A and B are shown apart, each in its own frame.
Chain A
């Protein structure tokens, strides 16, 4: 049935073969890149933190440390800094010192198992309550409520922020946990968060997840976050 093609460019056979080859090559490349990405995206361990090894996705024990988000002139964008910042004088490259601790619900000695259990529960809760259908996480999700990617570092929840004052709590984590359990009692905005029946344990776990997430290296997203007055490493 097939007519004799006048040139290769109108030959179905040529295009069928091209389509197959191009698809195959693209798929193989994607698979190879995925192997490499998965290696780089593996969650770090407590041992990495002891050895001061920076991982894109750090160990959950980062909840024991102070977390910053600062401009790295070497990479040209903000990077998460865990436990204090070290600067290489030659290149200007910044790195984490993994030294400066910060209490999380009164403790800075959460073991790897405890921290893992917390973020496990936190992520399950984030999914069970459909958080991503209002909020964005890592920039994905809905846009009806603020981005949670670096929520832990947001000045609104800091010691001088309006949201911490509103809940009457003494620390960021307690303020967040109090809010999450009864969001409709604390009108942050005309657009309020509904009451999702979050228990005290779930709230604590979600806050742990937010702190852990703020330490994920997102290649500088969101941009300029660290430069804003009142935020981490602000220009004073």
Chain B
């Protein structure tokens, strides 16, 4: 019963998942360093400064999510299409190329850090553009790897079945890949620079990634709850309409203060206010359907994956939706922009919208590898999901407290001067928030340790009835 029925594409997915989890650990480690530096600024000063810790923290997050996303697609692609992934060898080669490139980029980030102010630095050390700091050689490499991935997805779907989930993914992935190109040029005009930079950052995170998550979430619901495919696919299209309908022009909420024309105030306010709407529809409908049939032998097929999907649904709504809406209107954003508000929102939004569902997908992979029809939650699994989720929520609330103080003192009282900035940063309430953030971060790291342990051992710790049921199913 050991994984002999896996598609080659699914074996490749497991490779992506493994690197994703390792990078997740790197993200948490460098986040911890940055959080410590907020409280003890001399920690690693002039050795590994906040700028570097923060850059690795965020880049590791983005890259591990991309690894997990590619992995999840390779996992569901042959299953949905009903055929082996076309060009799986090419995909494997791309995986190794990407991993070596990521390793080089990270080593350069940590050991070389910065360069002289010229074009060579942008090509080989860092582009210094928040979130997409990767040097240009790596950008070109990423595009090449993504093209291989796109080819594999398209060729496989065209050969096999065209399910609604796959059609949405095909359309979405081409947009995701194309948008990356908007962040690959240099201009002296910082307003124009920021304008296009948001095409990558916003249109990824608040449009293409959201649609991606909806598609993968639909697949996970089918796998864990036997959800009705008709219902899932209908909701998927509704979500695509609402997410792209709100997310594309919701881009405007980043265009309030960067030198853009004033009409972006209205456009950004309206469309970004609509963004929270689509976030829970699919899940609630399917859960309702499933609830009606409970007790008729329709068990949850993978409890950890389902639990993480639940965290995703409500984390996404709270973090991306509620915390985003709190400061999205220009009247409020004028004061909160560039404070800890976005940090509070960002932590819960990324966790809720993307981290949780990717862990869910990884649990599906673990289950599939072991070949179990059902998988129960273990004690370590409960500790992992509890410590991580509560930790991130507490982190968000702490940062919100600090943000509130910063906004009132620095922006309200001192008009955003440097003096006001430092007075706010030294305020005891601000500092206390940062302290709670660090404590909450430690909880997340403890949860991560449980998560890694659980992913490695969950299939060995299944209760006897699941194992027996599995054995019987195998025999039959």
Contact = CB atoms under 8 A, between A and B. Distances in A.
B41 A191 contact: yes
A147 B335 CA distance: 13
Contacts of B116: 125, 128, 197, 199, 202
Contacts of A108: none
Interface string A191-218: 1101111110010011000000100111
Interface in A145-189: 146-147, 150-151, 154-156, 163, 184, 189
A133 B54 contact: yes
Contact of B256 (A184, A199, A219): A219
Nearest to B412: A224
A130 B126 contact: yes
A18 interface: yes
B127 to A, nearest CB: 6
Contacts of A134: 49-51, 54
A10 interface: yes
Given A26-B248, A57-B191, A154-B417, A222 B411 contact: yes
Interface in B242-263: 244-245, 248-249, 251, 255-263
B133 interface: yes
A12 B245 contact: no
B115 A219 contact: no
A16 interface: yes
Interface string A128-139: 111111101111
B230 A138 contact: no
Contacts of B128: 126-133
Contact of B130 (A11, A142, A198, A220): A142
A19 B249 contact: no
B52 interface: yes
Interface residues of A, number: 89
Nearest to A29: B249
B241 A19 contact: yes
Interface string B156-199: 00000000100000000000000000000010111111110000
A15 B343 CA distance: 35
A233 B350 CA distance: 41
Interface stretch (B85-93, B100-108, B231-239, B460-468): B231-239
A90 interface: no
Interface stretch (B216-224, B419-427, B436-444): B419-427
Contacts of B41: 190-192
A78 to B, nearest CB: 10
A87 interface: no
Contacts of A129: 114, 117, 128
Given A132-B128, A132-B129, A223 B121 contact: no
Given A129-B114, A130-B55, A19 B261 contact: no
A86 interface: no
A126 B186 CA distance: 12
Interface in A14-46: 15-16, 18-19, 22-23, 26-27, 29-30, 33-34, 36-38, 40-43
A85 interface: no
Interface in B112-145: 113-119, 121-122, 125-130, 133
Contact of B191 (A41, A224, A231): A41
A105 interface: no
Contacts of B195: 34, 37-38, 41
A19 B122 contact: no
Contacts of A65: none
B418 interface: yes
A30 B230 contact: no
A99 B192 CA distance: 27
B267 interface: yes
A2 interface: yes
Contacts of B255: 37
Contacts of B449: none
Contact of A196 (B54, B114, B263, B335): B114
Nearest to B193: A123
Tell me which of A33, A43, A143, A163 has the highest count of chain B C-beta atoms within 10 A of its own C-beta.
Answer: A143
B400 interface: no
A153 to B, nearest CB: 9
24 contacts: A18-B238, A19-B240, A19-B244, A22-B244, A30-B249, A37-B255, A123-B188, A124-B186, A126-B117, A128-B125, A129-B117, A134-B49, A138-B194, A138-B259, A139-B257, A140-B258, A141-B130, A184-B45, A189-B425, A192-B45, A198-B117, A202-B116, A216-B190, A219-B262
Given A190-B41, A202-B116, A205-B117, 4 more contacts: A124-B122, A127-B117, A134-B54, A139-B337
Give the 9 A-B residue pairs with the shortest CB-CB distance, closest first: A125-B117, A127-B128, A222-B416, A221-B257, A15-B237, A133-B51, A224-B415, A139-B338, A26-B248
